[in-house]
Amino acid sequence: MAFMLFVALTVSIERAWYLRKVISHGKKIMAEIEPLSRVDG
């Protein structure tokens, strides 16, 4: 029982870390793309 709880917590922490990393990279990409759309407009 304790092992399953440990695995569940580990998986949820890893997924939260992964999503935070993906969102961070997405914000960086959007910051790079945003000036380009202003030039075209």
Give me the pLDDT at residue 39, please: 66
Element (H, E) at 1: none
CA angle 30, 34, 37 (to 5 degrees): 135
Tell me: the pLDDT tens digits for 1-41? 999 999 999 999 999 999 999 999 999 999 988 888 666 65
Tokens of 39: 């030039």
Cα Rg, the chain, nearest whole Å: 18
What is the pTM (predicted TM-score) of this model? Answer: 0.65
Tokens of 12: 């949820």
Q: Residue 40: count other Cβ atoms within 10 Å of its Cβ.
A: 5
